[in-house]
Amino acid sequence: MIGYRIRKLWQESWQNISRHRFLSFASFFIMAITMTFVSVVLLVLVNLQSFSKQVEDSVEIQVFLVSTTQPEELPTIENQFKALENVESVTFVSRDAALKQLIQEYGSAFDLFEGDTNPLYDKFEVQVKEKAAIKQTAKALEAFPAVFQARYGSDTAEALLTSLGIVRRFGLLLTIVSLAVTMIVLFFTLMMSIRSRQREIQTRMLIGATPSYIRRPFIVQSVLLTVAGGLLALLVSLSGYGLFFSRFQGGVEASGYALSTLLQAGVPVAGIILTVSLLFGWLSAVIAVTSSIEYPK
């Protein structure tokens, strides 16, 4: 009996789709387009979140020592820095090592500064435990007599994080607006399908069909179309992201950052898209069926 009901439900749902091919295709097409857009936005948001984390993790305090600091003082200074509550690690970089790093990164033009003409300072690179307290930690480090300056690129890091936050909020707003428009279109599309069969529905009700029996095929029809649209959107967006990743990952890594892999970005995006597609199909059908079907009195 249960098997018969399931088969009958599927038959009714597919009949609804085949009888109204244009409206069904419109629902599928609209859902596929919207979910493709939402998928792309979500992939961007996943990478923005990853970039924000990478930027925060890369922020460290550069503590420059006064030029009169003697080598034998360095262990004591290092221990004093490590004793601060928010300090996680301390690494000493001599002025000569810092110059060699500049030459490696920017070319032989800096060879002129080797030897006594080296204008750089000895420094400690300090990693902190809590990024939120980095400003207070920098001030505490700068208070030591042996410290000439403590800086952590606050303006650049904060500006970058602020920009990423603005883009993230704008992306979320676009996603919400797109989903709202799609919900409305799906509702009206399904409502038109129901009203075009109003006489048939009333006839079935008169010969004994229950309201739930009438509603279920429309709900399954809507869910099938929206989930199919979501699957197509995932196929397009994730395939495109895979090509994008393979082409641009090397360039991004050269700048010191990394894109999220297809697995890292694809799994959460796929979960969100399929869940949203399922919920949209179900919710739009329930609202349309409840508001559109006129039962005989």
Question: How does DSSP assign 30-94, residue by residue?
Answer: HHHHHHHHHHHHHHHHHHHHHHHHHHHHH--EEEEEPTT--GGGHHHHHHHHHTSTTEEEEEEE-
pTM of the complete model = 0.72
Please list the residues that pair with 128 across neighbouring strands: 87
Report yes or no: 223 and 285 within 8 Å, Cβ to Cβ: yes
Tokens of residue 241, six digits: 């992201």
**Domains of the chain as residue ranges with CATH:** 1-56+159-292 (no CATH), 60-152 (3.30.70.3040)
**Tens of pLDDT along 2-15?**
665 566 656 666 66
**Tens of pLDDT along 5-41?**
566 656 666 666 666 677 777 778 888 998 998 899 8
